[in-house]
Amino acid sequence: MENTTYDVKIWSARKYKGKNGTTSTVRWKVGKKAWPETFPTSALADSFRSELKTAVNRGEAFSLTTGRPVSWTKREEVSWYAFVCRYVDDHWKGVSGNHRKDRARILTDATEVLWKKTTGKPQRDLIRKALQAWSYNAEHRGTDKPADIASAIHWIEQNTVPLSAFEDNATTRTFLARVSEKKDGTRVAARSAIKAKRVLSHLFDYAVECGHLKVNPLSQVKWKAPKVSQELDQTSVPNP
């Protein structure tokens, strides 16, 4: 059963004025952990904070896993984005900086094919920057953000598929195809593809451990790493 608590503290929304506009961040504490949520407007931040306060006033239990009232968790499935953020947080310590960067890039690549809809989707480069530099960085996510980044993250939060989408093998195959490619659509080296699959398999093992999935979806489909070209790159051959 999910761990819950009634020990909740909600702070006032905090505004951040940057060169790209003003954002508002709501911060609250559930148990011993502080949770931040940044919005592109004060109205959205106030509305979210009001919902949190209403839940507290009703005596609702809050989830130690999501930071939200338990009733919210029951109301909707865990999204890919929300779970990835939790995964990053829970596996942040004891990992090298280079691995953290590689992991953020791999998770960003994967996220690109997991949208529920594309209406109003921010530009691709903005999404990638928001995910790699903020969302998939445990130390940076709760810091003040430029307005365009905050707006992009707010859209992402609402529009990634639930983890249950991976019960369909077609989703998993599309997912694997994306992480086997570079940003420009060309194939990555076999070693890079294998590393990406290893990172994602670890994430899905954790999803099974947390009870969000029954099995690791990557174990349900056949996959081969991209073939390595045998052609030599003449620019990399030493000149006698």
The whole model's pTM is what? 0.67
| Cβ proximity of 159 and 121 under 8 Å | yes
Enumerate the domain spans of the chain: 1-76, 77-224
Closest by alpha carbon to 156, among 182, 135, 177, 183?
Answer: 135
Query: pLDDT of the chain along its 240 residues, tens only?
Result: 458 899 999 999 888 887 767 888 899 999 999 998 888 888 888 888 999 999 999 999 998 878 888 887 655 578 999 999 999 999 999 899 999 999 999 999 999 999 998 899 999 999 999 999 999 999 999 888 899 999 999 999 999 999 989 988 889 999 899 999 998 989 989 899 999 999 999 999 999 888 788 889 998 888 887 775 544 444 444 554
| Cβ proximity of 19 and 146 under 8 Å | yes
| Cβ proximity of 13 and 25 under 8 Å | yes
Alpha-carbon distance of 87 to 105, in angstroms, equals 14
pLDDT of 220 = 87
Closest by alpha carbon to 133, among 111, 149, 119?
Answer: 149
Alpha-carbon distance of 222 to 214, in angstroms, equals 18
